[in-house]
């Protein structure tokens, strides 16, 4: 997969990591970048083609896919968090997170996969999280949705191989985005996330572990779960 000359569709491209990815694609020579957003008026990136896209709305997804019929790279970045737990959180909040990360990602992929096949296979990038692999108090329902998106990514990788579509999963800890604005922790620059993602894409990596948090948690999965959860357990 070469960035130069590619035609990309980025979801949630009006801000944060999505905007940074769209900008990096243009900087690295993408021929066209469709910047998907629920409200395309919020897309302020020179050179990008704003595209109305609500990934939880089947009609919106179908319309966007019809416009982006020349796509060779799809980046599923759009995300949402309701900042809640599983026992006391709003069930509708968990459904909203799953509608976005699981069902929305799948809807966009199903709608654009035929175009990717027609255009030579191309690539699919799913922006995941360190919370695809672990959980933390206050956002446990979000972790469920991101874990589902990770499993979805692995399944799509197998199913899309027949049409020569490369699938890349991107895992990171905290980034300096609206999603993390209320957390006083070290945060990645979205531009650095975009740079690492596109480098991994051109290298045909299957996963990009952007930061130390992602690398630590991925390695810890092979060890005793107490390494991740011990400080929070009382029994």
Instruction: Assign residue 157 the CATH number of its domain.
Output: 3.40.50.720
User: pLDDT digit string (tens) for 21-34?
Assistant: 999 999 999 999 99
The span from the CA of 79 to the CA of 85, in Å, is: 17
In a domain, 190, yes or no: yes
Phi and psi, residue 35, nearest 5°: -100, 100
Confidence of residue 186 (pLDDT cuts 50, 70, 90): confident
Model pTM score: 0.94
For residues 37 and 14, is the Cβ–Cβ distance under 8 A?
yes
Out of 52-56, 67-71, 160-164, 178-182, least confident range = 178-182
In a domain, 1, yes or no: no
Rounded to an integer, the average pLDDT of 150-171 is 98
The span from the CA of 184 to the CA of 187, in Å, is: 9
Predicted local distance difference test score (pLDDT) of residue 180: 64
Predicted local distance difference test score (pLDDT) of residue 106: 98
In a domain, 2, yes or no: no
The span from the CA of 14 to the CA of 10, in Å, is: 9
The span from the CA of 114 to the CA of 57, in Å, is: 19
Predicted local distance difference test score (pLDDT) of residue 66: 98
In a domain, 214, yes or no: yes
| pLDDT above 60: residue 235 | no
Q: Which two tokens stand for residue 185?
A: 């922790």
Q: How many domains in the chain?
A: 1
Q: Scanning the structure block, which residue is given the tokens 């999965």?
A: 221
In a domain, 220, yes or no: yes
Rounded to an integer, the average pLDDT of 181-192 is 80
Kindly tell me the sign of the dihedral angle through the C-alpha atoms of 185, 186, 192, 193.
negative
Predicted local distance difference test score (pLDDT) of residue 188: 84
Three-state secondary structure of 89-150: CCHHHHHHHHHHHHHHHHHHHHHHHHHHHHCCCCEEEEECCHHHCCCCCCCHHHHHHHHHHH
Rounded to an integer, the average pLDDT of 130-153 is 96
Domain hosting residue 114, numbered range: 7-232
The closest alpha carbon to 10, from 31, 35, 29, 47, belongs to 35
For residues 202 and 2, is the Cβ–Cβ distance under 8 A?
yes
The span from the CA of 107 to the CA of 105, in Å, is: 5
Confidence of residue 95 (pLDDT cuts 50, 70, 90): very high
3-state secondary structure of 197: helix
| pLDDT above 80: residue 231 | no
Confidence of residue 177 (pLDDT cuts 50, 70, 90): confident
Predicted local distance difference test score (pLDDT) of residue 135: 94
Non-local CB neighbours of 74 within 8 Å, separated by 6+ positions = 8, 9, 108, 109, 112, 116, 122, 123, 124, 125
The closest alpha carbon to 38, from 54, 51, 49, 22, belongs to 54
């Amino acid at each position: 997969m070469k960035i130069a000359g590619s035609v990309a569709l980025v979801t949630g491209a009006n801000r944060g990591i999505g905007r940074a990815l769209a900008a990096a694609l243009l900087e690295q020579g993408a021929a066209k970048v469709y910047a998907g957003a629920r409200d395309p008026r919020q897309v302020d990136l020179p050179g990008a083609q704003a595209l109305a896209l609500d990934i939880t709305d089947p009609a919106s997804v179908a319309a966007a896919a019809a416009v982006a019929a020349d796509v060779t790279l799809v980046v599923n970045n759009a995300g949402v968090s309701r900042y809640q737990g599983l026992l006391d959180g709003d069930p509708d909040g968990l459904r909203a997170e799953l509608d976005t990360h699981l069902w929305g990602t799948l809807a966009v992929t199903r709608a654009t996969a035929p175009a990717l096949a027609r255009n030579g296979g191309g690539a699919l990038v799913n922006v995941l999280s360190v919370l695809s692999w672990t959980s933390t108090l206050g956002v446990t329902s979000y972790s469920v949705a991101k874990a589902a998106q990770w499993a979805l990514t692995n399944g799509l990788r197998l199913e899309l191989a027949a049409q020569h579509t490369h699938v890349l999963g991107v895992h990171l800890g905290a980034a300096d985005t609206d999603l993390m604005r209320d957390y006083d922790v070290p945060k990645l620059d979205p531009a650095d996330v975009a740079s690492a993602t596109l480098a991994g894409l051109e290298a045909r990596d299957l996963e990009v572990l952007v930061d130390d948090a992602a690398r630590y948690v991925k390695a810890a999965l092979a060890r005793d779960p107490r390494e991740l959860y011990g400080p929070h357990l009382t029994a």
